[in-house]
Chain A
């Protein structure tokens, strides 16, 4: 695969080798939807915000391990690479248990990708949500509604399933304005009607954690 290199030998691309590898050679993407009709499905995002992710999982009921995971992603290079890497993380070593898979965080995916450019971080936050939605679908189909976990906190953005908890995390992570929170969470980029509420929450969490005078 040809590469773009700067004269000084350093990489001039935004993306790490790992990101490029997963982008150009995505692993486990869905090729044959028809034979996954009975798989459990999770989907998050909307084309308006630029990213949509759809995840199918197959679970071994005895061990509750994820034995198969397929995905489709509409999005930029980091979105595609993030979903691909997540599929690898979930399936390696015989597959994660549902409980393990539920605990995957965007940071875990980014770490394995060797980091993402700052403005691309938001692309990696959707994969884990789609996975959790698929896990919920498994429990629903298995008739074990008690094990369905709703997203932590209250959902603010229905399209992207961004919660108030996500916004609090973003503020704690240094985001101070609606733009900076969007960079981290994409909240409101698909359905802007929630933005006034998000702005209020940002003010609330800033005051809560950093005081009024910040």
Chain B
């Protein structure tokens, strides 16, 4: 049976050229970049060169690229690092701002800090499409605000945030009051390789991305830290990465990530157009199923993300039925995670529990073809029908009106 992998938002396969670039650094050029001999120097050069390649894509300085173990660590370093640095001043108050649909790697450290009364936290709501408004961000800023963290693109529903606008507003706020705070962090894990990562344009002070969503290796991530940002490390040790992230550098991972980012940048434009066509085709095809609804923004969304709620059935059951038919997708719903709650993202965009429990995410990638999409469009209706057949829940149609234009075009033109 052919297997169709539509879970690229969870992780991507490693690109062959990335694997090739990494291979020598396991057993051949394996030395520790901190060693003073020629082998160490060779490894160090590989790290330095990779750092430069990444900095070039971000329009950043080399010393602004900090390598970490992945997106979660980068997000934690950004958040905890800023708070720790600020709290070195006695009696310093810290207020942070984030959105309701952030990844747990941002929300959980923030909630923990708030619970420990180390920070005040504002969690901004999003609109029905999952958009954060730049105006809301500015309104929430206080004298004590040290950091605003808003994700670039959402992992579940694919909504792309107005990061440039938010960054510009925050910068203006700072300039007006001649202060260094609040800093602006964005989690760009889903955006890397798809959207513009130019940190100057985005006015980002801190930016996270990782290898595993970028056709690079797992276990490697980057935190861009602007030179002017004061950060206190979360881990202490040998003082690697400007003292911000101690620990022997993951040289193969670093080399792989640089290669992966470059390949993604090369392919970006063509791949964007290709994916968009596939995405819209899939959206149109799936919305023909009665009582279905597209979650997320009808046009400001990642080109590889289709998230649809099918009423009257439960997502996990559908994922398992689809898997048995060779189609691998994800759900953000209750049973997929260890929690009992329905997806916090789908709930935050104002959807009912019924819709949240029946949401399925199809995330396309480089290997996805039009034939795959057609196959999925053929298989999904049967699975949905079977599960609905078994279900006693019958939500009334009036609760999820969908615009005809989305049903026809897969998105809105605007």
Contacts and interface: CB of A to CB of B under 8 A. Distances in A.
B392 A76 contact: no
Interface in B270-312: 312
Nearest to B321: A24
Contacts of B333: 50
B351 to A, nearest CB: 12
Interface string B353-378: 11001000000000000000000000
B392 A53 contact: yes
B interface bracket (residues with beta carbon within 8 Å of A): 20 to 34
A124 interface: no
Given A50-B314, A76-B317, A26 B390 contact: yes
B193 to A, nearest CB: 29
B392 A43 contact: yes
A31 B333 CA distance: 27
Interface in B355-414: 357, 389-393, 395
A52 B338 CA distance: 19
Contacts, number: 77
Nearest to B336: A76
A47 B324 contact: no
Please classify the interface of chain A as helix (H, G, I), strand (E, B), loop, or mixed, using the class held by over half of its residues: mixed
B340 A23 contact: no
Contact of B340 (A49, A52, A54): A49
A57 B326 CA distance: 36
B334 interface: yes
Contacts of B326: 2
A43 B391 CA distance: 12
Contact of A80 (B324, B334, B342, B390): B390
A50 B334 contact: yes
A187 B320 CA distance: 26
B186 to A, nearest CB: 31
Contacts of A139: none
Contact of B324 (A24, A54, A76): A24
A210 interface: no
Contact of B317 (A31, A48, A49, A77): A77
Contacts of B341: 189
A24 B321 CA distance: 7
B316 interface: yes
Interface of A: 1-2, 4, 23-24, 26, 29, 31, 43, 47-54, 72-80, 119-120, 122-123, 182-183, 186, 189-190
16 contacts: A1-B324, A24-B321, A24-B324, A47-B357, A48-B354, A49-B340, A49-B353, A52-B391, A72-B392, A73-B392, A74-B312, A74-B357, A76-B317, A76-B334, A119-B338, A186-B340
